[in-house]
Amino acid sequence: MVGSRFRYSRWDGTQKGFELDAFDVLGEMADDLLYHGDPMAALRRLMQEGFTDANGERVQGLREMMERIREEREARLENSDLGGVYSEINEELLDLINQERQALSDRNALADMELGDPDASDESKRNAELAAETKQNKGLQLDLMPDDLAGKVKGLQNYEFESNEAQQRFDDLIDKLRQEMVNKQFSEMAGAMENMSPEDLARMKDMMAELNQMLEQKAAGEEPDFDGFMEKYGDFFPENPQSLEELLEAMAMRMAAAQAMLNSMTPEQRQQLQELSNALMEDMDLNFEASRLSQNLQGMFPDAGWQQSYDFSGYDPLGLAGASETFAELSQLDQMEQFLQNASNPASLADIDLDRVRDLLGDQEAASLERAAELAKMLEDQGLVQNTEGRMELTPQGLRRLGQVALNDLFSKLGKDALGQHDIDTRGLGHERSYDTRPYAYGDPFNLHIEKTIGNALRRSGGGIPIQLKPEDFEIELTEQQVRSSTVIMLDLSMSMPMRGNFLPAKKVTLALHSLISSQFPRDYLGLVSFADTARELKPQMLPEVSWDYIYGTNMHHGFMLARQMLAKQTGTKQIIMITDGEPTAHLTADGYSVFNYPPTQECVDKTMAEALRCTKAGITINTFMLDADAGLRYFVERLTEINGGRAFFTSPDTLGEYLLVDFIEHKRTLLGRRSA
């Protein structure tokens, strides 16, 4: 077997690769997911709005797609004139009538020559007289031909042509019109039976009769023989429907499009088309079966668009064939728009006909829909979400990834110097390996790195066994000093947070800090407390779904109490980080009930301060990050910092993450600096 051959080149940034994956999708939907707490709702919004993949290529959202549908619909309506449905037929009829008149005139000229020839026989003269009479009679027939289209067709069907060429043109035109009439009603079905003969049309009538019978059987509670029907008439249905319901729905959509064409015409145009159809089809009862089928389908599919009509405003006349095709496309665009409007999740997009989307809208739109349909599956396959009892939820891996997205977003907003220029040496004796080494020096802990030590000896000696070690070969491992700290984030979830636009930034920075601590400082403790009218402890996995409280109140008193109790079980330095946009307006009574008052009562403020004082005595620092602080909140926080000794940060939703992240990292550096000293 010949092996595959590959060619490699240096990556220069111009090659395409690293296309959209599940992590990109989660990053795109992160803000929506954090705000609403529902992965499926976030996916739906992503599906609606669209996004840009890792190659910078736009994946169109459903809103853009529906705008493209509206543009395509308007283009057809603004460029076409429905009044031209009959013009090309009428012109063809007039042209072949003129051809017939010319043939009659030519024959009459020959007859005149015969009559004027003195040598002509009596029989020739009688034939000439007969030809003149025929010309006169046929000319009169042509002169008396009705003006309306159906009348002309019917009159010419009963007319005996003098010109064989005109007769052939008329026969070809009738065959073409019959085909177009059927196409007007049945679209793809007629396309599958091109150049229909009278026998084909008769077979179509039989097919519709049996289909009507199946419908009546179904309405009576019987089970029609669908497989037998498809075996007999399957060639009429190139889309290969798998059930009677699927077949009937497809036919209903086609016939509704034909009805929309009639609805869009003037009464005079509609009458002309109906009379023309009767003139062409009445000999095979095809109109009767089609009308019967239409009535049955309208009863089964009342919402298929039977009352739809369109207002054409262009100048390009539509012929009958062009009009049928245009109305079929308009119907398909309407169906596509309705489908996209009703799409409840990305997986439902898998049911759309991408080939039809490609034909009507273009390759880019089809590709966007195909990729959008895969969003939920990508997240599941990557293990970021799971379906639990029909509900989409984040997995632990998804939660970690979401936290990393939030953290990366915050770090991306920090300038290069945002974390300061006062790095400290954190290497020395400790518990955590840093994976750095250096030559051993007198007084160092003998924390030998075996591989590098032996490697130094081999390089020095040039190899060989036994290996002789010397003091200069010794290489020791360095470890990082670790100072454990315990933090509880108090997150304000009162009504004012979403009302002022503070909810998402606060929740996002909380998740980012959780991600930072769990990944970079795994020995640290991070607790989460939400507070509104009451406070409660949050587990990390609850954070994406947590939302604001609809009951009024900002109960810092209960929040401090709960945070203090959580930190009492921890070691190391202890701090509370409180994110809020309001002063305390609720507190707990001795019986454990929450009491709300606005403006805050003195009792509420005193109880909150008393709990802050207990935190201070327990060695807990309270650092407050204030969003949109008013005078009341500023005054309260100033008193809080006096009692506790913590710090206060007056910030905004845009800068909250930077303030909090920088402060936390600086706090860790300070602790490490003290330990090193």
Domain at 637, CATH number = 3.40.50.410
Instruction: Kindly state whether residues 200 and 68 are assigned to the same domain.
Output: no
User: How many C-beta atoms surround the C-beta of residue 435 within 10 A?
Assistant: 10
Choice between 85 and 141, residue whose per-residue pLDDT is larger:
141
Band of pLDDT at residue 341, cut at 50, 70 and 90: confident
pLDDT at 2: 38
Boundary of a domain, candidates 334, 349, 383: 334
Instruction: Kindly state whether residues 312 and 340 are assigned to the same domain.
Output: no
Whether 628 and 502 have beta carbons less than 8 Å apart is answered as yes
pLDDT at 190: 46
Contacts of 599 (CB under 8 A, 6+ apart): 585, 632
Task: Show the domain range for 456.
Answer: 427-480
Question: Is 0.85 topped by the overall pTM?
Answer: no
Q: Is 341 domain-assigned?
A: yes
Mean pLDDT of the region 644-661: 70
pLDDT at 4: 38
Instruction: Kindly state whether residues 321 and 239 are assigned to the same domain.
Output: yes
Mean pLDDT of the region 34-49: 80
pLDDT > 70 fraction of the chain, expressed in percent and rounded = 74
Q: Is 403 domain-assigned?
A: no
Q: Is 408 domain-assigned?
A: no
pLDDT at 412: 61
CA neighbor of 501 nearest in space, from 615, 349, 269, 656: 656
Q: In a 3-state reduction of DSSP, which class is residue 385?
A: strand
CA neighbor of 666 nearest in space, from 356, 422, 366: 422
Band of pLDDT at residue 566, cut at 50, 70 and 90: very high
Instruction: Kindly state whether residues 314 and 272 are assigned to the same domain.
Output: yes
pLDDT digits (tens, 9 = 90+) for 501-529: 888 888 888 888 888 777 777 788 889 99
pLDDT at 440: 72
Q: Is 13 domain-assigned?
A: no
Instruction: Kindly state whether residues 108 and 47 are assigned to the same domain.
Output: no
d(CA 634, CA 583): 8
Choice between 614 and 442, residue whose per-residue pLDDT is larger:
614
d(CA 424, CA 346): 50
Minimum mean pLDDT range among 200-214, 306-320, 432-446, 663-677: 663-677
Q: Is the model's pLDDT at 357 over the cut of 90?
A: no
pLDDT at 635: 82
Instruction: Kindly state whether residues 538 and 627 are assigned to the same domain.
Output: yes
Band of pLDDT at residue 15, cut at 50, 70 and 90: very low
Q: Is 4 domain-assigned?
A: no
Give the pairing of strands 475-480 and 427-428. antiparallel
One-letter amino acid for residue 594 of the chain? S
Helices 164-186 and 267-281, axial angle in degrees (round to 10)? 110
DSSP structure class, residue 30: H
Band of pLDDT at residue 610, cut at 50, 70 and 90: very high
Q: Is 320 domain-assigned?
A: yes
Choice between 671 and 163, residue whose per-residue pLDDT is larger:
163
Instruction: Kindly state whether residues 276 and 378 are assigned to the same domain.
Output: no
User: At CA 121, angle to CA 120 and CA 127, rounded to 5?
Assistant: 90
Q: Is the model's pLDDT at 249 over the cut of 90?
A: no
Instruction: Kindly state whether residues 325 and 454 are assigned to the same domain.
Output: no
Boundary of a domain, candidates 290, 309, 334: 334
Show the beta-strand stretches assigned E in 427-484.
427-428, 432-439, 475-480
pLDDT at 620: 92
Instruction: Kindly state whether residues 154 and 253 are assigned to the same domain.
Output: yes
Boundary of a domain, candidates 344, 378, 394: 394
Choice between 8 and 656, residue whose per-residue pLDDT is larger:
656
Q: Is the model's pLDDT at 432 over the cut of 50?
A: no
Q: Is 14 domain-assigned?
A: no
Return the C-alpha torsion angle 434, 435, 436, 442, nearest 10. Answer: 80
Residue holding tokens 């008393």? 610
Minimum mean pLDDT range among 285-289, 410-414, 573-577: 410-414
Instruction: Kindly state whether residues 519 and 632 are assigned to the same domain.
Output: yes
Q: Is 7 domain-assigned?
A: no
Tokens of 506: 């606060």
d(CA 264, CA 281): 22
539: left (phi over 0), alpha (psi -120 to 50) or beta: beta
Instruction: Kindly state whether residues 179 and 276 are assigned to the same domain.
Output: yes
Please classify residue 47 by burial: count the beta carbons closer than 10 Å to its beta carbon, then call 0-12 exposed, 13-18 middle and 19+ buried: buried
d(CA 620, CA 624): 13
Instruction: Kindly state whether residues 164 and 32 are assigned to the same domain.
Output: no
How many structural domains is the chain composed of? 4
Helix (H) or strand (E) holding 439: strand 432-439
